[in-house]
Amino acid sequence: MTTLKKSLGLRAALLSLLIFAAIVGLWQIAAQPPAASGPAVDPEYAKLVGAAAATGAKSAMPTPADIGVTIWKHLMDPFYVKGTNDKGIGIQLAYSLGRVLLGFGLAALFAVPLGFLIGMSPLVYRALDPFIQILKPVSPLAWMPLALYTIKDSAISSIFVIFICSVWPMLINTAFGVASVRREWLNVARTLEVGPFRTAFKVILPAAAPTIMTGMRISIGIAWLVIVAAEMLVGGTGIGYFVWNEWNNLSIANIVTAILLIGVVGLLLDQGLARLTKLVTYPE
Amino acid sequence: MFKDPFDPKTLLKPRCSCGGDHAPADHARLSAVPASDEQRFSRVVDAAVLRAVFPVDAQRRQFLKTVGATTAMAAISSVFPLATAREAFAQGGAPEKKDLKVGFIPITCATPIIMAHPMGFYSKQGLNVEVVKTAGWAVIRDKSLAKEYDAAHMLTPMPLAISLGIGSNPVPWTMPAVENINGQAITLAIKHKDKRNPKDWKGFRFAVPFDYSMHNYLLRYYVAEHGLDPDKDISIRSVPPAEMVANLRADNIDGYLGPDPFNQRAVFDGVGFIHVLTKELWDGHPCCAFTVSKEFATQNPNAYRALLKAIIEATAYASKQENRKEIARAIAPTNYLNQPETVLEQILTGTYADGLGAVKKDPNRIDFDPFPWNQFAIWIMTQMKRWGQLKGDVDYAKVAADVYLATDTANMMKEMGLTPPDPSKKTIVIMGKAFDPAKPNEYVESFAIKRS
């Protein structure tokens, strides 16, 4: 049994590696600059334009090798500061993470208690439902102009946007988790004459905890998606700004580097909350 | 040669060949014309201090003859902080606020605002300025209105729009200096290289950086002069400058009237070609501006003056052709424009690849001139009116004078030893049609294609 499991893991890893090699290989072939076939241009003109434009083509997609070099360059020096608008990728990621954790933390502080109240009262649950349902699907970019206009501070605005986007899954999941605590458990508590506060903390909270944590896991994923968009819009610092600034320079290699790093950090955040969820899960 | 050395009237020292009464070694120091502002300012300060120390001029001359200029300067410095006094005078009063934030959009129009940072024009005025790259015009407007920025790079129509409350709440905004004149272009996708006549552009999708921009007004003017209605025959959308090349490449748009470096960048990447420089529509048109809120200017008069001085000085430096390569190098890094140096050099020097295989030369492709002509403002407002952005009546001359601070700029230029132009003498001719700033309403009426 264990050997089978082990070999399955091994085979999966091998397959992953194979897929990776295939993607990189295909990319490398596809991104090869076309052989100079265009009309020969004036050397004086060729000097003034990019290598691709000189042969009458559009500038090409960078190859995986180019991107590897760029990633290496960024990882070797992630924390440099060369002025207000040029900071290392590590610093940019730290700014983004700070904003996400702040916005997400505030959202959790707000959503979990409120969700608790909503879940305990079917009346409030029904009354607030339409508001939540309407506000939940609104894109972060739609909130941004409103936030900038009313808050008048771009740093707080991006934190507000994280807050407003990550609050809904937590709110809904908490309310749902609290509302669907098994009747029998509440009845047992009532029979034992446990006070309302003790019931809330000793019975409902542990029972709803896995659902609440799932809500948090969804929220942090959304928050991490949102921050890149928000920073691209507002600029200044953060990984989203980095992507925007390299878009300015049409530097695809740098953008791909940022995409990979955003993916890795998102994975770490998700896995962290998955671990926490496991801690509070209980067998039925 | 053989004069009596015991005669008190005989000069034993070798005399300078220039005929002046000084030794050849002192010639350079004594006859030098103060070259820079600092030297002029320090002459003024030194003169004031010496007059105070020696009320009688004969005594001063006697003293200097006896001990020599260098010793005298050292002696006075030991009791009076000459260096500090010179600095204080040059700054014209200490700025109320030294740490300033100035927002900019990464385009070559902002050259004076940006280069003043790496090239030390701000620090020379005793300011510690942070130049902050911003994502788009709406964001730079909102951040300025929210006072996150003390001053900002804007499009010349923006301070007018903000002051008039078009597209935002009305806030009194001022524009003490224009950044650049000319320097924009219409870029088309390579696939349109045979459609050089605007009459063939029906159905084209164009981008401009902002609704309240010279780009928008010039593009509308250009196609309208060729008989196309910019609202019906083509579509114009607002796209941040940085995203224009990416959109052109993705075939999302057919072309744009945009700021550089993105025209030249489209050529560099083989995505587009330069159809026409805006200079060929209106030679000397304004584009971008250095702006501050009226509140900042009145509450921090010294900081405002110092900032304006730095900008005017940087603009004057940028207007000289011989400095352009050095400037291209200074503003190319990631911290500023984040562009290949050759692209910036082609824009600033005006020797550029046009995207169709030719190398063109036009040294005035972009130029820098700080003077905020009120006539510019009036023209811009006539176009706002023409395209329906500005509704109702407006006192053109008054708004222009309130927002475009030509008098402030002229005074500052005089103080700096530059010659300001005569504010009433400005002729504006756009595609062969003259504009009379005294008759704005008639001008709007004279167009066949308009919205009002």
What is the per-residue pLDDT across A87-98, written as a single tens digit (0 to 9) for each?
888 999 999 999
How many interface pairs between A and B have CB atoms less than 8 angstroms apart?
A: 115
| Mean pLDDT to the nearest integer, A184-191 | 87
Torsion angle of alpha carbons A104, A110, A115, A121, nearest 10°?
A: -170
- How much is the pLDDT for A18? 94
**Chain B residues with beta carbon closer than 8 angstroms to that of A82:** 333-335
Which residue from B minimizes the CA distance to A151?
B146
Q: B270, A56: Cβ pair inside 8 Å?
A: yes
Q: For residue range B7-34, what is the model confidence (pLDDT) as tens digits?
A: 666 655 555 555 555 555 565 555 555 4
**Do residues B335 and A85 lie in contact, with contact meaning Cβ atoms separated by under 8 Å?**
yes
**Residue A44: closest CA among chain B residues belongs to which residue?**
B359
Mean pLDDT of A154-180: 89
In this prediction, residue B26 carries a pLDDT of: 60
CA geometry: angle at B8 spanning B4 and B14, to 5°?
70
Taking only the tens place, the pLDDT of each residue in B356-386 is: 888 888 888 998 888 888 899 899 999 998 9
Q: A165 and A226 in contact (C-beta within 8 Å)? A: yes
**From the candidates A153, A237, A250, which should be mutated to test the interface with B, based on the most B CB atoms within 10 A?**
A250
Q: How far is CA B324 from CA B279, B329, B352, B369, in A?
A: 18, 9, 14, 14
Nearest CA in chain A to B269: A59
Domains of chain B, by residue range, sit at 24-91, 99-180+286-354+367-445, 184-280
- What is the overall mean pLDDT for chain A? 85
pLDDT at residue B306, rounded to an integer: 87
Please state whether beta strands B235-238 and B205-208 pair in parallel, antiparallel, or not at all (unpaired): parallel
Cα gap B42→B45, rounded to integer Å = 5
Chain A contact for B53 (CB, 8 A cutoff): no
* Cβ-proximal residues to B210 (8 Å cutoff; 6+ apart), any chain: B136, B137, B138, B155, B158, B216, B238
Q: What is the pLDDT of residues B189-221, one digit of tens each?
A: 988 988 889 888 988 999 999 888 999 999 999
Question: Which neighbouring-strand residues pair with B188?
Answer: B255, B273
Residue A30 confidence (pLDDT) above 90: no
Supply A87's token pair. 């900071």
Tokens of B114: 């940006």
The ipTM is 0.75
Which positions in chain A touch B139 (Cβ < 8 Å)?
Answer: 148, 154, 233-235
Residue B67's CB is within 10 A of a number of other CB atoms, namely: 13
Interface test with A, best of B119, B247, B262, B335 (most A CBs within 10 A): B335
What is the pLDDT, as a whole number, of residue B19? 53
Which class is A91-280 in CATH? Answer: mainly alpha
Query: Mapping DSSP to helix (H, G, I), strand (E, B) and coil, where does residue B403 land?
Result: helix
What's the CATH architecture for B184-280? 3-Layer(aba) Sandwich (3.40)
What type of residue is A38? G
Contact criterion met (CB < 8 Å) for B338 and A49: no
Give the nearest chain A residue to B350 (CA atoms): A48
DSSP assignment of B38-50: HHHHHHHHHHHHH
**CA–CA min distance A66, chain B (Å):** 17
Is B357 within 8 Å of A245 when comparing Cβ atoms? no
Residue (of A116, A108, A111, A107) closest to A181 by Cα position:
A116
Q: How far is CA A235 from CA A225, B104, B135, B377, B447, in A?
A: 16, 11, 5, 30, 40
Minimum CA–CA partner of B106 in chain A: A248
Q: Are B440 and B378 in contact (CB under 8 A)?
A: yes
Cis omega (within 30 of 0) for bond into B34: no
**Residue A53 buriedness (CB in 10 A; 0-12 / 13-18 / 19+):** buried
What average pLDDT score do residues A180-209 get?
86
CA distance A81 to A94: 13
Q: How far is B448 from chain A (nearest CA, A)?
A: 37
Pairwise CA distance, residues B428 & B85, whole Å:
45
B151 Cβ neighbours under 8 A, 6+ residues apart: B100, B102, B103, B290, B291, B292, B296, B307
Higher-confidence position of A47 and B318: B318
Q: Is B296 on the interface with A (CB under 8 A)?
A: no
Q: How many whole angstroms from its chain centre is CA B354?
A: 25
Six token digits for residue A54: 């000189």
Categorize the per-residue pLDDT at A156 as very low, low, confident or very high, splitting at 50, 70 and 90: confident
Residue B236's alpha-carbon distances to A58, B229, B257, in angstroms, are 25, 11, 10
Higher pLDDT pick, B254 / A66: B254
Residues contacting A253, CB < 8 A, separation 6+: A62, A66, A67, A69, A70
DSSP labels, B12-80 = -SPPPTTSSSS-GGGHHHHHPPP-SHHHHHHHHHHHHHHHHH-SSHHHHHHHHHHH-HHHHHHHHHHHS
Residue of chain A with shortest Cα separation from B131: A84
Phi, psi of B128 (to 5 degrees): -110, 90
Chain B: nearest CA to A243, how far in angstroms? 11
Query: Considering the domain B99-180+286-354+367-445, what is its CATH architecture?
Result: 3-Layer(aba) Sandwich (3.40)
Domain ranges in chain A are 91-280
Q: Could you give the 3-state DSSP secondary structure of residue B306?
A: helix
Residue A64 to chain B, least CA–CA distance (Å): 20
* pLDDT exceeds 60 at position A238: yes
Q: Taking chain B (452 residues) in consecutive chunks of 10 residues, what is each chunk's mean pLDDT?
A: 61 56 57 54 63 73 77 71 58 76 90 89 88 87 88 90 82 88 91 88 90 92 91 89 86 91 90 91 91 88 88 88 88 88 90 87 88 90 89 86 87 83 85 88 88 76
State the pLDDT confidence band at A195, using cuts at 50, 70 and 90. Answer: confident
Q: How far is A205 from chain B (nearest CA, A)?
A: 43
Do the first three CATH levels of B99-180+286-354+367-445 and B184-280 match, i.e. the same topology?
Answer: yes
Q: How many CB atoms lie within 10 A of CB B78?
A: 9
